[in-house]
A and B are shown apart, each in its own frame.
Chain A
Amino acid sequence: MGNLLKTLYRDRHPYIFIAPAFLLLMMFSLIPIVVAFFISFTDINLRGLADWSQISFIGLENYIKLFNDSVFITSIFNTLFYVVIGVPLVIICSLSVALILNYGKDKIFHFFRAVYYMPSITNIVAVAVIWGFLYNTHYGLFNYFLSLVEIGRVPWLEQPTLAKISLILLAVWKGLGINMIIFLAALQGIPKEYYEAAKVDGANRLQTLWHVTIPLLGFATFFVTVTTLIGWLQFFEEPYVMTNGGPLDGTLSMALFIYRSGFQLSEFGYAAAGSFVLFFMIIIVTLIQFKFRKADVEY
Protein backbone atom coordinates (compact mmCIF):
# COMPACT_ATOMS: atom_id res chain seq x y z
CA MET A 1 0.00 0.00 0.00
CA GLY A 2 2.77 2.40 0.98
CA ASN A 3 4.57 1.46 -2.20
CA LEU A 4 1.58 2.20 -4.35
CA LEU A 5 1.17 5.61 -2.79
CA LYS A 6 4.84 6.28 -3.37
CA THR A 7 4.67 5.45 -7.09
CA LEU A 8 1.49 7.43 -7.38
CA TYR A 9 3.20 10.40 -5.78
CA ARG A 10 6.25 10.04 -8.00
CA ASP A 11 4.10 9.88 -11.15
CA ARG A 12 1.68 12.55 -10.05
CA HIS A 13 2.57 15.21 -12.61
CA PRO A 14 0.66 14.01 -15.67
CA TYR A 15 -2.42 13.49 -13.50
CA ILE A 16 -2.14 16.99 -12.11
CA PHE A 17 -1.80 18.34 -15.65
CA ILE A 18 -4.90 16.60 -16.92
CA ALA A 19 -6.94 16.99 -13.74
CA PRO A 20 -8.61 20.39 -14.30
CA ALA A 21 -9.68 19.70 -17.88
CA PHE A 22 -10.65 16.12 -17.21
CA LEU A 23 -12.68 16.89 -14.10
CA LEU A 24 -14.54 19.64 -15.96
CA LEU A 25 -15.32 17.37 -18.89
CA MET A 26 -16.36 14.66 -16.48
CA MET A 27 -18.70 17.00 -14.68
CA PHE A 28 -20.21 18.68 -17.72
CA SER A 29 -20.10 15.98 -20.40
CA LEU A 30 -19.81 12.47 -18.99
CA ILE A 31 -21.88 12.60 -15.82
CA PRO A 32 -24.61 14.63 -17.56
CA ILE A 33 -25.14 11.96 -20.16
CA VAL A 34 -25.79 9.39 -17.41
CA VAL A 35 -28.04 11.84 -15.59
CA ALA A 36 -29.92 12.60 -18.81
CA PHE A 37 -30.44 8.91 -19.42
CA PHE A 38 -31.93 8.36 -15.97
CA ILE A 39 -34.15 11.41 -15.88
CA SER A 40 -35.56 10.54 -19.29
CA PHE A 41 -37.42 7.76 -17.45
CA THR A 42 -38.81 10.10 -14.80
CA ASP A 43 -41.39 12.86 -14.70
CA ILE A 44 -39.03 15.49 -13.24
CA ASN A 45 -40.26 19.04 -13.75
CA LEU A 46 -40.07 22.33 -11.87
CA ARG A 47 -41.86 20.82 -8.87
CA GLY A 48 -39.54 17.82 -8.81
CA LEU A 49 -36.55 20.13 -8.97
CA ALA A 50 -37.52 21.79 -5.71
CA ASP A 51 -38.54 18.59 -3.95
CA TRP A 52 -36.97 15.34 -5.08
CA SER A 53 -39.68 13.23 -3.47
CA GLN A 54 -42.05 14.53 -6.14
CA ILE A 55 -40.06 12.75 -8.85
CA SER A 56 -41.28 9.32 -9.85
CA PHE A 57 -39.99 6.69 -12.19
CA ILE A 58 -42.37 6.34 -15.12
CA GLY A 59 -40.51 3.92 -17.39
CA LEU A 60 -40.90 4.51 -21.09
CA GLU A 61 -43.84 6.85 -20.72
CA ASN A 62 -41.89 9.94 -21.90
CA TYR A 63 -40.79 8.14 -25.03
CA ILE A 64 -44.28 6.85 -25.78
CA LYS A 65 -45.69 10.33 -25.23
CA LEU A 66 -43.06 11.81 -27.56
CA PHE A 67 -44.06 9.66 -30.48
CA ASN A 68 -47.69 10.55 -29.93
CA ASP A 69 -46.85 14.23 -29.71
CA SER A 70 -47.68 15.72 -33.08
CA VAL A 71 -45.41 18.72 -32.39
CA PHE A 72 -42.43 16.42 -31.82
CA ILE A 73 -43.22 14.47 -35.00
CA THR A 74 -43.40 17.77 -36.89
CA SER A 75 -40.01 18.74 -35.47
CA ILE A 76 -38.53 15.44 -36.68
CA PHE A 77 -39.87 16.03 -40.19
CA ASN A 78 -38.63 19.61 -40.18
CA THR A 79 -35.19 18.48 -39.06
CA LEU A 80 -35.09 15.85 -41.81
CA PHE A 81 -36.15 18.51 -44.30
CA TYR A 82 -33.25 20.72 -43.17
CA VAL A 83 -30.81 17.85 -43.43
CA VAL A 84 -31.95 16.45 -46.79
CA ILE A 85 -31.85 19.82 -48.53
CA GLY A 86 -29.20 21.62 -46.52
CA VAL A 87 -26.41 19.06 -46.35
CA PRO A 88 -26.04 18.41 -50.11
CA LEU A 89 -26.36 22.14 -50.75
CA VAL A 90 -23.54 22.95 -48.31
CA ILE A 91 -21.32 20.28 -49.82
CA ILE A 92 -21.91 21.32 -53.43
CA CYS A 93 -21.47 25.02 -52.69
CA SER A 94 -18.37 24.67 -50.54
CA LEU A 95 -16.74 22.27 -53.00
CA SER A 96 -17.45 24.60 -55.92
CA VAL A 97 -16.01 27.59 -54.12
CA ALA A 98 -12.96 25.57 -53.09
CA LEU A 99 -12.39 24.48 -56.69
CA ILE A 100 -12.53 28.07 -57.91
CA LEU A 101 -10.29 29.29 -55.10
CA ASN A 102 -7.81 26.55 -55.90
CA TYR A 103 -7.53 27.86 -59.42
CA GLY A 104 -4.93 30.53 -58.77
CA LYS A 105 -2.42 31.68 -56.22
CA ASP A 106 -2.67 35.45 -56.74
CA LYS A 107 -3.54 37.89 -53.97
CA ILE A 108 -7.13 38.15 -55.16
CA PHE A 109 -7.72 34.46 -54.49
CA HIS A 110 -6.37 34.83 -50.96
CA PHE A 111 -8.52 37.87 -50.39
CA PHE A 112 -11.68 36.09 -51.49
CA ARG A 113 -10.81 33.05 -49.44
CA ALA A 114 -11.16 35.36 -46.44
CA VAL A 115 -14.41 36.86 -47.74
CA TYR A 116 -16.07 33.47 -48.19
CA TYR A 117 -14.82 32.35 -44.81
CA MET A 118 -16.12 35.36 -42.94
CA PRO A 119 -19.74 34.25 -42.38
CA SER A 120 -18.67 31.15 -40.50
CA ILE A 121 -17.01 33.04 -37.66
CA THR A 122 -19.66 35.70 -37.18
CA ASN A 123 -22.10 35.44 -34.35
CA ILE A 124 -25.13 33.36 -35.17
CA VAL A 125 -27.54 35.64 -33.34
CA ALA A 126 -26.21 38.68 -35.16
CA VAL A 127 -26.45 36.79 -38.44
CA ALA A 128 -30.02 35.77 -37.73
CA VAL A 129 -30.93 39.35 -36.86
CA ILE A 130 -29.40 40.64 -40.10
CA TRP A 131 -31.09 38.02 -42.23
CA GLY A 132 -34.36 38.61 -40.45
CA PHE A 133 -34.17 42.18 -41.76
CA LEU A 134 -33.16 41.08 -45.26
CA TYR A 135 -36.06 38.62 -45.34
CA ASN A 136 -38.63 41.08 -44.01
CA THR A 137 -41.67 41.03 -46.28
CA HIS A 138 -42.16 44.79 -46.32
CA TYR A 139 -38.79 46.38 -45.61
CA GLY A 140 -36.41 43.62 -46.62
CA LEU A 141 -33.71 44.01 -49.24
CA PHE A 142 -34.50 40.69 -50.91
CA ASN A 143 -38.07 41.63 -51.70
CA TYR A 144 -36.84 44.98 -52.96
CA PHE A 145 -34.49 43.22 -55.40
CA LEU A 146 -37.34 40.99 -56.50
CA SER A 147 -39.64 43.98 -57.00
CA LEU A 148 -37.06 45.36 -59.46
CA VAL A 149 -37.72 42.35 -61.69
CA GLU A 150 -41.47 42.62 -61.16
CA ILE A 151 -41.83 39.79 -58.68
CA GLY A 152 -44.29 40.48 -55.90
CA ARG A 153 -43.62 40.27 -52.20
CA VAL A 154 -42.37 36.89 -51.07
CA PRO A 155 -43.36 35.99 -47.47
CA TRP A 156 -39.91 34.54 -46.72
CA LEU A 157 -40.52 33.68 -43.09
CA GLU A 158 -44.29 33.57 -42.99
CA GLN A 159 -45.16 30.40 -44.83
CA PRO A 160 -44.07 27.07 -43.26
CA THR A 161 -42.24 25.47 -46.21
CA LEU A 162 -40.76 28.69 -47.53
CA ALA A 163 -39.59 29.63 -44.03
CA LYS A 164 -37.68 26.36 -43.79
CA ILE A 165 -35.99 27.07 -47.11
CA SER A 166 -35.16 30.61 -46.03
CA LEU A 167 -33.47 29.28 -42.90
CA ILE A 168 -31.57 26.74 -45.00
CA LEU A 169 -30.28 29.50 -47.30
CA LEU A 170 -28.98 31.41 -44.31
CA ALA A 171 -27.35 28.31 -42.81
CA VAL A 172 -25.71 27.41 -46.13
CA TRP A 173 -24.31 30.94 -46.32
CA LYS A 174 -22.93 30.50 -42.83
CA GLY A 175 -21.67 26.94 -43.26
CA LEU A 176 -19.86 27.56 -46.52
CA GLY A 177 -16.59 28.87 -45.09
CA ILE A 178 -15.38 26.14 -42.84
CA ASN A 179 -16.17 23.32 -45.26
CA MET A 180 -14.61 25.23 -48.13
CA ILE A 181 -11.37 25.44 -46.10
CA ILE A 182 -11.38 21.69 -45.52
CA PHE A 183 -11.89 21.04 -49.24
CA LEU A 184 -9.24 23.58 -50.13
CA ALA A 185 -6.69 21.97 -47.84
CA ALA A 186 -7.47 18.60 -49.40
CA LEU A 187 -7.20 20.00 -52.94
CA GLN A 188 -3.82 21.50 -52.20
CA GLY A 189 -2.64 18.15 -50.88
CA ILE A 190 -3.20 16.34 -54.18
CA PRO A 191 0.18 15.70 -55.84
CA LYS A 192 0.73 17.44 -59.18
CA GLU A 193 1.76 14.16 -60.86
CA TYR A 194 -1.83 12.97 -60.98
CA TYR A 195 -2.88 15.94 -63.05
CA GLU A 196 0.10 15.57 -65.32
CA ALA A 197 -0.67 11.89 -65.84
CA ALA A 198 -4.28 12.72 -66.66
CA LYS A 199 -3.08 15.29 -69.17
CA VAL A 200 -0.75 12.79 -70.84
CA ASP A 201 -3.67 10.39 -71.13
CA GLY A 202 -5.57 13.12 -72.96
CA ALA A 203 -8.25 13.75 -70.35
CA ASN A 204 -10.07 17.07 -70.69
CA ARG A 205 -10.72 19.38 -67.74
CA LEU A 206 -14.11 17.95 -66.87
CA GLN A 207 -12.84 14.38 -67.03
CA THR A 208 -9.90 15.29 -64.81
CA LEU A 209 -12.26 16.89 -62.31
CA TRP A 210 -14.62 13.92 -62.32
CA HIS A 211 -12.13 11.06 -62.43
CA VAL A 212 -9.10 12.46 -60.62
CA THR A 213 -9.93 15.35 -58.32
CA ILE A 214 -13.27 14.29 -56.85
CA PRO A 215 -12.26 10.69 -56.06
CA LEU A 216 -9.11 11.97 -54.36
CA LEU A 217 -11.25 14.19 -52.15
CA GLY A 218 -12.83 11.09 -50.63
CA PHE A 219 -11.76 11.65 -47.07
CA ALA A 220 -12.47 15.38 -47.05
CA THR A 221 -15.95 14.77 -48.48
CA PHE A 222 -16.61 12.11 -45.89
CA PHE A 223 -15.44 14.36 -43.07
CA VAL A 224 -17.50 17.30 -44.30
CA THR A 225 -20.59 15.12 -44.76
CA VAL A 226 -20.39 13.63 -41.28
CA THR A 227 -19.76 16.91 -39.47
CA THR A 228 -22.32 18.85 -41.52
CA LEU A 229 -24.98 16.19 -40.98
CA ILE A 230 -24.40 16.16 -37.23
CA GLY A 231 -24.48 19.95 -37.21
CA TRP A 232 -27.73 20.16 -39.18
CA LEU A 233 -29.43 17.55 -37.03
CA GLN A 234 -28.79 19.95 -34.14
CA PHE A 235 -30.11 23.02 -36.01
CA PHE A 236 -31.10 25.46 -33.26
CA GLU A 237 -30.10 29.11 -33.24
CA GLU A 238 -31.49 30.09 -36.63
CA PRO A 239 -35.08 29.00 -35.92
CA TYR A 240 -34.78 30.18 -32.31
CA VAL A 241 -33.88 33.74 -33.21
CA MET A 242 -35.61 34.23 -36.55
CA THR A 243 -38.93 32.45 -36.31
CA ASN A 244 -39.05 30.91 -32.84
CA GLY A 245 -40.18 27.72 -34.50
CA GLY A 246 -43.14 29.31 -36.30
CA PRO A 247 -45.15 29.79 -38.41
CA LEU A 248 -47.34 26.90 -37.23
CA ASP A 249 -44.26 25.03 -35.97
CA GLY A 250 -43.08 25.08 -39.58
CA THR A 251 -39.46 25.75 -38.66
CA LEU A 252 -39.41 23.96 -35.29
CA SER A 253 -36.32 21.75 -35.17
CA MET A 254 -35.77 18.88 -32.77
CA ALA A 255 -33.15 20.86 -30.86
CA LEU A 256 -35.56 23.75 -30.47
CA PHE A 257 -38.30 21.38 -29.34
CA ILE A 258 -35.96 20.00 -26.66
CA TYR A 259 -34.98 23.49 -25.54
CA ARG A 260 -38.60 24.53 -25.33
CA SER A 261 -39.80 21.53 -23.37
CA GLY A 262 -36.83 21.77 -21.05
CA PHE A 263 -36.43 25.44 -20.37
CA GLN A 264 -39.70 27.08 -21.27
CA LEU A 265 -42.09 24.37 -20.08
CA SER A 266 -39.66 22.95 -17.45
CA GLU A 267 -40.52 19.37 -18.41
CA PHE A 268 -36.96 18.19 -17.85
CA GLY A 269 -37.65 14.46 -18.07
CA TYR A 270 -39.64 14.85 -21.27
CA ALA A 271 -36.96 17.04 -22.82
CA ALA A 272 -34.21 14.58 -21.84
CA ALA A 273 -36.14 11.80 -23.56
CA GLY A 274 -36.39 13.99 -26.66
CA SER A 275 -32.67 14.63 -26.57
CA PHE A 276 -32.00 10.90 -26.51
CA VAL A 277 -34.16 10.40 -29.58
CA LEU A 278 -32.03 13.05 -31.29
CA PHE A 279 -28.79 11.46 -30.04
CA PHE A 280 -29.97 8.09 -31.29
CA MET A 281 -30.71 9.57 -34.72
CA ILE A 282 -27.26 11.15 -34.85
CA ILE A 283 -25.59 7.84 -33.99
CA ILE A 284 -27.62 5.92 -36.58
CA VAL A 285 -26.93 8.44 -39.34
CA THR A 286 -23.21 8.49 -38.53
CA LEU A 287 -23.00 4.71 -38.44
CA ILE A 288 -24.76 4.47 -41.80
CA GLN A 289 -22.18 6.80 -43.28
CA PHE A 290 -19.28 4.80 -41.89
CA LYS A 291 -20.86 1.67 -43.28
CA PHE A 292 -21.37 3.04 -46.78
CA ARG A 293 -18.10 4.86 -46.95
CA LYS A 294 -16.12 3.58 -49.87
CA ALA A 295 -12.49 2.77 -49.26
CA ASP A 296 -10.36 5.89 -49.64
CA VAL A 297 -8.17 6.31 -52.64
CA GLU A 298 -4.73 6.47 -51.08
CA TYR A 299 -2.26 9.02 -52.23
Chain B
Amino acid sequence: MSSATIKKLEKNFMIVLLVVGGIIISIPFMWMILSSFKPLNEAVQMPPTFLPQNPTFENYINLFTNLNFGIYLRNTLIIVFFSFIGLIFNGMAGYAFAKYQFKGRKVIFYTILATMMIPGQVTMIPVYLILNQMGLTNTMTGIVLPGLAVAFSIFLFRQFMQTIPDDLIEAARLDGAGEYYIFFKLIIPIAKPVFAVQAILTFIAAWNSFLWPLIIASDQRLYTLSVGLALLEGQHSSNFALQMAGAAFMVVPIVIIFAFFQKYIIEGFTMSGLK
Protein backbone atom coordinates (compact mmCIF):
# COMPACT_ATOMS: atom_id res chain seq x y z
CA MET B 1 0.00 0.00 0.00
CA SER B 2 1.22 3.47 -0.78
CA SER B 3 1.46 5.97 2.02
CA ALA B 4 -1.38 7.97 0.50
CA THR B 5 -3.80 5.05 0.81
CA ILE B 6 -2.66 4.41 4.36
CA LYS B 7 -3.30 8.04 5.14
CA LYS B 8 -6.75 7.87 3.62
CA LEU B 9 -7.54 4.67 5.51
CA GLU B 10 -6.36 6.24 8.72
CA LYS B 11 -8.54 9.27 8.19
CA ASN B 12 -11.59 7.13 7.47
CA PHE B 13 -10.88 5.18 10.63
CA MET B 14 -10.78 8.43 12.57
CA ILE B 15 -14.09 9.50 11.07
CA VAL B 16 -15.68 6.20 12.06
CA LEU B 17 -14.38 6.65 15.61
CA LEU B 18 -15.73 10.18 15.66
CA VAL B 19 -19.18 9.14 14.45
CA VAL B 20 -19.48 6.22 16.87
CA GLY B 21 -18.35 8.41 19.78
CA GLY B 22 -20.70 11.17 18.67
CA ILE B 23 -23.66 8.81 18.64
CA ILE B 24 -22.82 7.55 22.12
CA ILE B 25 -22.52 11.14 23.35
CA SER B 26 -25.89 12.01 21.85
CA ILE B 27 -27.84 9.04 23.24
CA PRO B 28 -29.10 10.93 26.30
CA PHE B 29 -30.39 13.78 24.12
CA MET B 30 -32.07 11.50 21.61
CA TRP B 31 -33.65 9.43 24.35
CA MET B 32 -34.92 12.56 26.08
CA ILE B 33 -36.58 13.89 22.91
CA LEU B 34 -38.07 10.55 21.90
CA SER B 35 -39.39 9.70 25.37
CA SER B 36 -40.91 13.13 25.86
CA PHE B 37 -43.36 12.41 23.05
CA LYS B 38 -44.40 9.02 24.41
CA PRO B 39 -47.30 8.40 26.79
CA LEU B 40 -46.04 7.23 30.19
CA ASN B 41 -46.87 3.55 29.70
CA GLU B 42 -44.91 3.50 26.47
CA ALA B 43 -41.96 5.41 27.92
CA VAL B 44 -41.39 2.78 30.59
CA GLN B 45 -42.23 -0.20 28.40
CA MET B 46 -39.71 -3.03 28.26
CA PRO B 47 -38.33 -3.67 25.69
CA PRO B 48 -38.49 0.04 24.84
CA THR B 49 -39.82 1.35 21.56
CA PHE B 50 -37.39 3.51 19.63
CA LEU B 51 -39.76 5.93 17.91
CA PRO B 52 -42.95 6.91 19.78
CA GLN B 53 -45.75 4.59 18.62
CA ASN B 54 -48.47 6.98 19.75
CA PRO B 55 -46.77 10.38 19.61
CA THR B 56 -48.36 12.84 22.01
CA PHE B 57 -47.88 16.40 23.26
CA GLU B 58 -49.65 15.48 26.48
CA ASN B 59 -46.44 15.71 28.55
CA TYR B 60 -45.64 19.19 27.33
CA ILE B 61 -49.19 20.38 27.87
CA ASN B 62 -49.04 18.90 31.35
CA LEU B 63 -45.98 21.00 32.18
CA PHE B 64 -47.97 24.18 31.66
CA THR B 65 -51.42 23.17 32.83
CA ASN B 66 -50.83 20.96 35.87
CA LEU B 67 -47.36 22.19 36.72
CA ASN B 68 -46.20 25.77 36.88
CA PHE B 69 -43.74 25.77 34.03
CA GLY B 70 -45.23 28.99 32.68
CA ILE B 71 -44.26 30.80 35.88
CA TYR B 72 -40.85 29.11 35.96
CA LEU B 73 -40.25 30.23 32.39
CA ARG B 74 -41.21 33.81 33.21
CA ASN B 75 -38.85 33.86 36.23
CA THR B 76 -36.03 32.42 34.18
CA LEU B 77 -36.51 35.09 31.53
CA ILE B 78 -36.47 37.81 34.22
CA ILE B 79 -33.13 36.46 35.42
CA VAL B 80 -31.84 36.43 31.85
CA PHE B 81 -32.90 40.06 31.42
CA PHE B 82 -31.13 41.22 34.57
CA SER B 83 -28.01 39.27 33.78
CA PHE B 84 -27.75 41.33 30.58
CA ILE B 85 -27.69 44.46 32.71
CA GLY B 86 -24.94 42.81 34.73
CA LEU B 87 -23.15 42.21 31.44
CA ILE B 88 -23.03 45.96 30.81
CA PHE B 89 -21.60 46.50 34.30
CA ASN B 90 -18.91 43.96 33.53
CA GLY B 91 -18.19 45.61 30.19
CA MET B 92 -17.88 49.01 31.86
CA ALA B 93 -15.47 47.67 34.44
CA GLY B 94 -13.43 45.85 31.80
CA TYR B 95 -13.21 49.08 29.80
CA ALA B 96 -12.03 51.10 32.78
CA PHE B 97 -9.32 48.55 33.58
CA ALA B 98 -8.18 48.46 29.97
CA LYS B 99 -8.24 52.13 29.04
CA TYR B 100 -7.81 54.33 32.12
CA GLN B 101 -4.88 54.99 34.39
CA PHE B 102 -6.09 55.51 37.92
CA LYS B 103 -4.98 55.03 41.48
CA GLY B 104 -5.51 51.52 42.73
CA ARG B 105 -6.13 50.06 39.28
CA LYS B 106 -3.80 47.08 39.73
CA VAL B 107 -4.89 46.32 43.29
CA ILE B 108 -8.58 46.44 42.43
CA PHE B 109 -8.10 44.36 39.29
CA TYR B 110 -6.19 41.63 41.10
CA THR B 111 -8.72 41.66 43.90
CA ILE B 112 -11.42 41.00 41.33
CA LEU B 113 -9.40 38.18 39.78
CA ALA B 114 -8.86 36.70 43.23
CA THR B 115 -12.60 36.41 43.77
CA MET B 116 -12.65 33.80 41.01
CA MET B 117 -10.76 31.46 43.32
CA ILE B 118 -13.38 31.53 46.07
CA PRO B 119 -15.58 28.46 45.81
CA GLY B 120 -19.33 29.02 45.71
CA GLN B 121 -19.83 26.84 48.77
CA VAL B 122 -17.89 29.27 50.95
CA THR B 123 -19.86 32.32 49.91
CA MET B 124 -23.31 30.76 49.69
CA ILE B 125 -23.98 30.75 53.43
CA PRO B 126 -22.79 34.30 54.22
CA VAL B 127 -24.48 35.67 51.08
CA TYR B 128 -27.69 34.06 52.25
CA LEU B 129 -27.24 35.65 55.68
CA ILE B 130 -26.46 39.05 54.14
CA LEU B 131 -29.49 38.89 51.86
CA ASN B 132 -31.58 37.78 54.79
CA GLN B 133 -30.39 40.80 56.76
CA MET B 134 -31.39 43.03 53.85
CA GLY B 135 -34.79 41.36 53.76
CA LEU B 136 -34.15 40.03 50.27
CA THR B 137 -34.59 36.30 50.80
CA ASN B 138 -37.47 34.90 48.84
CA THR B 139 -37.45 37.86 46.45
CA MET B 140 -36.45 38.14 42.81
CA THR B 141 -33.91 40.84 43.70
CA GLY B 142 -32.20 38.41 46.06
CA ILE B 143 -31.97 35.80 43.33
CA VAL B 144 -30.63 38.18 40.71
CA LEU B 145 -28.18 40.38 42.65
CA PRO B 146 -25.40 37.92 43.59
CA GLY B 147 -24.92 36.81 39.99
CA LEU B 148 -24.75 40.20 38.28
CA ALA B 149 -21.02 40.87 38.43
CA VAL B 150 -18.82 38.12 37.03
CA ALA B 151 -15.07 38.37 37.52
CA PHE B 152 -14.23 36.17 34.55
CA SER B 153 -16.39 38.29 32.29
CA ILE B 154 -14.66 41.49 33.47
CA PHE B 155 -11.36 39.82 32.68
CA LEU B 156 -12.45 38.88 29.15
CA PHE B 157 -13.76 42.38 28.46
CA ARG B 158 -10.49 43.89 29.64
CA GLN B 159 -8.46 41.55 27.43
CA PHE B 160 -10.46 42.52 24.38
CA MET B 161 -10.65 46.25 25.07
CA GLN B 162 -6.92 46.53 25.50
CA THR B 163 -6.66 45.97 21.75
CA ILE B 164 -8.71 49.10 20.98
CA PRO B 165 -6.27 51.86 19.94
CA ASP B 166 -5.92 54.75 22.42
CA ASP B 167 -5.78 57.25 19.56
CA LEU B 168 -9.36 56.48 18.70
CA ILE B 169 -10.54 57.42 22.19
CA GLU B 170 -8.28 60.49 22.27
CA ALA B 171 -9.68 61.67 18.93
CA ALA B 172 -13.22 61.34 20.26
CA ARG B 173 -12.24 63.33 23.36
CA LEU B 174 -10.74 66.10 21.21
CA ASP B 175 -14.02 66.26 19.32
CA GLY B 176 -15.62 67.00 22.65
CA ALA B 177 -17.26 63.63 23.36
CA GLY B 178 -17.92 62.90 27.02
CA GLU B 179 -16.61 59.75 28.71
CA TYR B 180 -19.99 58.04 28.88
CA TYR B 181 -20.76 58.98 25.31
CA ILE B 182 -17.45 57.42 24.25
CA PHE B 183 -18.21 54.18 26.06
CA PHE B 184 -21.76 53.74 24.86
CA LYS B 185 -21.46 55.12 21.33
CA LEU B 186 -17.90 54.26 20.38
CA ILE B 187 -16.57 51.40 22.51
CA ILE B 188 -19.66 49.17 22.58
CA PRO B 189 -19.96 49.12 18.76
CA ILE B 190 -16.24 48.36 18.40
CA ALA B 191 -16.40 45.66 21.06
CA LYS B 192 -19.42 44.02 19.46
CA PRO B 193 -17.70 40.63 18.99
CA VAL B 194 -16.83 40.30 22.66
CA PHE B 195 -20.27 41.55 23.69
CA ALA B 196 -21.85 38.97 21.39
CA VAL B 197 -19.85 36.11 22.90
CA GLN B 198 -20.51 37.33 26.42
CA ALA B 199 -24.18 37.79 25.71
CA ILE B 200 -24.52 34.19 24.58
CA LEU B 201 -22.57 32.86 27.55
CA THR B 202 -24.57 35.06 29.90
CA PHE B 203 -27.81 33.82 28.42
CA ILE B 204 -26.78 30.20 28.87
CA ALA B 205 -25.61 30.79 32.44
CA ALA B 206 -28.79 32.64 33.39
CA TRP B 207 -31.05 30.12 31.68
CA ASN B 208 -29.32 27.35 33.61
CA SER B 209 -29.13 29.16 36.96
CA PHE B 210 -29.90 26.73 39.73
CA LEU B 211 -28.11 27.18 43.03
CA TRP B 212 -29.18 30.75 43.91
CA PRO B 213 -32.82 30.38 43.03
CA LEU B 214 -32.77 27.10 44.96
CA ILE B 215 -31.36 28.75 48.07
CA ILE B 216 -33.17 32.07 47.98
CA ALA B 217 -36.61 31.08 46.69
CA SER B 218 -38.69 29.28 49.27
CA ASP B 219 -41.83 30.09 47.35
CA GLN B 220 -42.73 28.27 44.14
CA ARG B 221 -43.71 31.61 42.61
CA LEU B 222 -40.02 32.43 42.32
CA TYR B 223 -38.73 29.09 41.05
CA THR B 224 -36.72 29.02 37.85
CA LEU B 225 -36.95 26.26 35.27
CA SER B 226 -34.02 24.35 36.80
CA VAL B 227 -35.44 24.48 40.30
CA GLY B 228 -38.88 23.60 38.99
CA LEU B 229 -37.44 20.66 37.11
CA ALA B 230 -35.63 19.42 40.23
CA LEU B 231 -38.95 19.69 42.09
CA LEU B 232 -40.72 17.80 39.31
CA GLU B 233 -38.11 15.08 39.52
CA GLY B 234 -38.79 14.73 43.23
CA GLN B 235 -42.59 14.88 43.04
CA HIS B 236 -43.20 12.81 39.93
CA SER B 237 -40.25 10.49 40.36
CA SER B 238 -41.82 7.66 38.38
CA ASN B 239 -43.35 9.72 35.57
CA PHE B 240 -40.36 9.57 33.29
CA ALA B 241 -42.20 10.81 30.20
CA LEU B 242 -43.14 14.01 32.04
CA GLN B 243 -39.59 14.40 33.36
CA MET B 244 -38.18 14.05 29.86
CA ALA B 245 -40.57 16.70 28.55
CA GLY B 246 -39.44 19.05 31.33
CA ALA B 247 -35.80 18.35 30.57
CA ALA B 248 -36.36 18.82 26.83
CA PHE B 249 -38.05 22.14 27.48
CA MET B 250 -34.88 23.31 29.21
CA VAL B 251 -32.34 21.78 26.87
CA VAL B 252 -33.78 22.34 23.40
CA PRO B 253 -33.70 26.18 23.42
CA ILE B 254 -30.04 26.07 24.44
CA VAL B 255 -29.27 23.51 21.73
CA ILE B 256 -30.91 25.75 19.13
CA ILE B 257 -29.00 28.82 20.28
CA PHE B 258 -25.85 26.77 20.31
CA ALA B 259 -26.44 25.52 16.78
CA PHE B 260 -26.70 29.10 15.55
CA PHE B 261 -23.82 30.56 17.49
CA GLN B 262 -21.53 27.60 18.04
CA LYS B 263 -18.59 29.26 16.32
CA TYR B 264 -18.79 32.25 18.66
CA ILE B 265 -19.38 30.19 21.79
CA ILE B 266 -16.46 27.89 21.16
CA GLU B 267 -14.19 30.76 20.20
CA GLY B 268 -15.33 32.68 23.24
CA PHE B 269 -13.47 30.26 25.42
CA THR B 270 -10.34 30.31 23.36
CA MET B 271 -10.42 34.09 23.21
CA SER B 272 -9.07 34.33 26.74
CA GLY B 273 -5.63 33.88 25.22
CA LEU B 274 -5.00 30.26 26.12
CA LYS B 275 -2.31 28.71 24.02
Contact = CB atoms under 8 A, between A and B. Distances in A.
Interface of A: 11, 13-15, 17-18, 20-22, 24-25, 27-33, 35-36, 39, 44, 49, 97, 100-101, 103-104, 108-109, 112-119, 121-134, 136, 138-139, 141, 144, 173, 176, 178, 181-182, 185-186, 189, 219-220, 223, 230, 233-234, 236-237, 240-241, 254-255, 258-259, 262-263, 268, 271-272, 275-276, 278-279, 282
A180 B247 CA distance: 25
B44 A139 contact: yes
B149 interface: yes
A112 B46 contact: no
Interface of B: 11, 14-15, 17-19, 21-22, 25-29, 31-32, 35, 43-44, 46-48, 86, 89-90, 92-93, 95-97, 100, 102-103, 105, 108, 111-112, 115, 118-130, 132, 145-146, 148-149, 151, 154, 179-180, 183, 204, 207-208, 210-211, 215, 225-227, 229-230, 232-233, 240, 243-244, 246-248, 250-251, 254-255, 258-259, 262, 265-266, 269-270, 274-275
A32 B230 CA distance: 27
23 contacts: A13-B180, A17-B93, A17-B96, A18-B92, A20-B149, A22-B108, A28-B145, A29-B151, A33-B118, A36-B125, A39-B126, A97-B21, A112-B22, A115-B26, A119-B28, A121-B258, A132-B233, A133-B35, A186-B274, A236-B211, A255-B121, A276-B122, A279-B121
B122 A14 contact: no
Contacts of A30: 111, 115
B122 A275 contact: yes
A101 B18 contact: yes
Contacts of B255: 118, 122
B274 A29 contact: no
A259 B121 contact: yes
B269 A144 contact: no
Nearest to B178: A13
Contacts of B112: 21-22, 25
B25 A129 contact: no
> Which secondary structure characterizes the binding site on chain A?
helix
B92 A103 contact: no
B14 A278 contact: no
Most chain A beta-carbon contacts within 10 A, residue among B48, B227, B230, B275: B275
Contacts of B111: 30
A254 B119 CA distance: 12
A152 to B, nearest CB: 14
Contact of B251 (A117, A122, A278): A122
Given A29-B123, A100-B17, A278-B122, A20 B251 contact: no
A96 B125 CA distance: 39
Most chain B beta-carbon contacts within 10 A, residue among A109, A122, A275: A122
B275 A123 contact: no
B254 A278 contact: no
Contact of A278 (B25, B121, B204): B121
Given A103-B14, A241-B230, A18 B28 contact: no
Given A25-B115, A49-B129, A100-B14, 11 more contacts: A15-B102, A28-B149, A123-B251, A126-B250, A133-B243, A136-B240, A176-B25, A181-B269, A182-B274, A185-B275, A279-B118
